[in-house]
Chains A and B, each alone.
Chain A
Amino acid sequence: MCLAIPGQVVSIEGRTARVAFGGIARDLATDLLPDLAPGDWVLAHAGFAIQRLEEDDAVETLRLFAEIESLGGPVGSE
């Protein structure tokens, strides 16, 4: 039930943000993140934007891999 989905803010009007989830746009309440701006990545949960996302998933996967690498051990890709 605590699933939260990443999306990107397209526009903001009052306390509502239009957020793109892949090809689908939905309105989210911004009460919990009052200073959102278009272009921001957010986590959506139960109709609200609950947190900013630092980077999108692709960037994160790269970082994670670098982290695993930095812990030492064999590297499984080039």
Chain B
Amino acid sequence: MTIDPHAAAETAYARIASMVNGPLAFMEVCGTHTMAIGRAGLRTRLPDDLRLVSGPGCPVCVTPAVDIERAAALAVEPGVTVATFGDLLRVPGANGTLQEARARGGQVKVVYAATEALDLAEIERTRTVVFVGIGFETTTPTVAATVLRAQSRGVHNFCVLPAFKLVPPAMHALASDPEIRIDGFLCPGHVSSILGTMPYEPVAREHRIPCVVAGFEPLEILSAIEALLLQLEEGRCEVENRYARAVPTQGNPAARAIMDRVFVPCDASWRGIGMLPASGLAFRPEYAEFDALERVPVNVPEVEDLPAGCGCGDVMKGRIQPPECRLFGHRCTPARPVGPCMVSSEGACAAWYKYGGGS
């Protein structure tokens, strides 16, 4: 059998159109989905009544300004090198970016993996290397494993600034907000590779919102949208997995065990959204020596979380689409970004600017 993905997509579009009989909002809780939806131009082909809204799915965008300020302050501490994923470099805190801190003489190194920051610490034994720990459940186990490596290799000049976020608690919080309409969740593919499908069960059950794990190919996303529509049609609110090749039901238990060994859930602030219960991770006391908050404490003043006029909070709650922000497109562009959602390549505003949103 030869397959024609274009024909398959046309079939899916037609079927989706026939299944939408009123206004619906599906939220994708994954920045990689946001980009894939934009790139494939899916919105332009879906019925007007079906809104795809972006949630707080970009780890860089949800990192509070105060954490970026803290990383920037660490970068200018004597004897400290800050190591970070490049995605964070251009995101403004309240007083500028890590890139600007580096231009002012701060020590900031871009790494592609937490293990690279550990290698750096092994080479520069006289400096303290602080890795900025941002990310969701996809990334956090890699950092936890790196902490365990640091411990077993006896590298004591390596530590992590914990700013991790957990996805299911954020879905709970958004689903509980009466001002936000969500008729279905497109669950993040690679977060689910670690979590499996179980953590979404309470979201589907308690809030009566269908949840479907989706892959990243246009056809996979369309298939997940169809699955959500089918559930609504049949009055079901369940967790379905449309990315089974990368998401076993049980996820990756070894990765979760490593994450649980090093970290414990704590309340955490999401940029523009606020404090969400048990949605972040703190070091367990046994690993306190790797906690940058303990090891190299710096004083950071209270700061405004978002620049004046920036609607990123409402964008990431799915309350508005990016063009509804007054700054979108004229004051705020990827070349001169105002808020985090325009800076990050996976931010909802950047995706809309680059690809257009469609109708």
Closest Cβ of chain A to B343, distance in Å, is 13
- Take A2-B59, A29-B145, A31-B149 as given contacts and tell me if A47 and B10 are in contact as well, using a CB distance cutoff of 8 Å: no
Q: Which chain A residue shows the least CB distance to B10?
A: A76
User: Which A residues between 30 and 63 are near B, CB-CB below 8 angstroms?
Assistant: 31-34, 43, 45-48, 50-55, 57, 60-63
The reply to whether the CB of B231 lies closer than 8 angstroms to some CB of chain A is: no
- Take A1-B58, A73-B15 as given contacts and tell me if A32 and B136 are in contact as well, using a CB distance cutoff of 8 Å: no
The reply to whether the CB of B77 lies closer than 8 angstroms to some CB of chain A is: no
Assess the A51–B193 pair: CB atoms within 8 A: yes
The reply to whether the CB of B31 lies closer than 8 angstroms to some CB of chain A is: yes
- Take A45-B142, A50-B138 as given contacts and tell me if A2 and B255 are in contact as well, using a CB distance cutoff of 8 Å: no
B interface footprint on A18-32 (CB within 8 Å = 1, 0 otherwise): 000000000001011
The reply to whether the CB of B220 lies closer than 8 angstroms to some CB of chain A is: yes
A interface footprint on B55-67 (CB within 8 Å = 1, 0 otherwise): 0001110000000
Q: How far is the CA of A6 from the CA of B85 in the complex (A)?
A: 20
Interface residues on chain B, number (Cβ under 8 Å): 60
Contacts of B217 in A (CB 8 A): 57, 61, 64
The reply to whether the CB of B128 lies closer than 8 angstroms to some CB of chain A is: no
Stretch at the interface among B107-115, B177-185, B278-286, B310-318: B107-115
Assess the A33–B254 pair: CB atoms within 8 A: yes
Assess the A43–B193 pair: CB atoms within 8 A: yes
Closest Cβ of chain A to B170, distance in Å, is 14
Assess the B252–A46 pair: CB atoms within 8 A: no
Contacts of A75 in B (CB 8 A): 11
The reply to whether the CB of A78 lies closer than 8 angstroms to some CB of chain B is: yes
Interface bin, chain A: 35 or more
Contacts of A1 in B (CB 8 A): 31-32, 58-60, 85, 87, 134-136, 138-139, 346
Assess the B113–A48 pair: CB atoms within 8 A: yes
Assess the B32–A76 pair: CB atoms within 8 A: no
Contact among B10, B149, B255 for A50, CB-based, below 8 A: B255
Contacts of B112 in A (CB 8 A): 46-47
Assess the B223–A68 pair: CB atoms within 8 A: yes
- Take A61-B5, A65-B3, A71-B15 as given contacts and tell me if A2 and B31 are in contact as well, using a CB distance cutoff of 8 Å: yes
Q: How far is the CA of A3 from the CA of B190 in the complex (A)?
A: 7
- Take A2-B59, A51-B252, A65-B8 as given contacts and tell me if A46 and B139 are in contact as well, using a CB distance cutoff of 8 Å: yes
B residues apposed to A, CB below 8 Å: 1-8, 10-12, 14-15, 30-32, 58-60, 85, 87, 112-116, 134-136, 138-139, 141-142, 145, 148-149, 188-191, 193-194, 215, 217, 219-220, 223, 226, 230, 244-248, 251-252, 254-255, 258, 346
14 CB contacts below 8 A, A to B, read A1-B139, A1-B346, A2-B32, A4-B138, A32-B142, A46-B112, A47-B112, A51-B193, A51-B247, A54-B245, A64-B220, A68-B226, A74-B11, A78-B1
A residues apposed to B, CB below 8 Å: 1-4, 29, 31-34, 43, 45-48, 50-55, 57, 60-65, 67-68, 71, 73-78
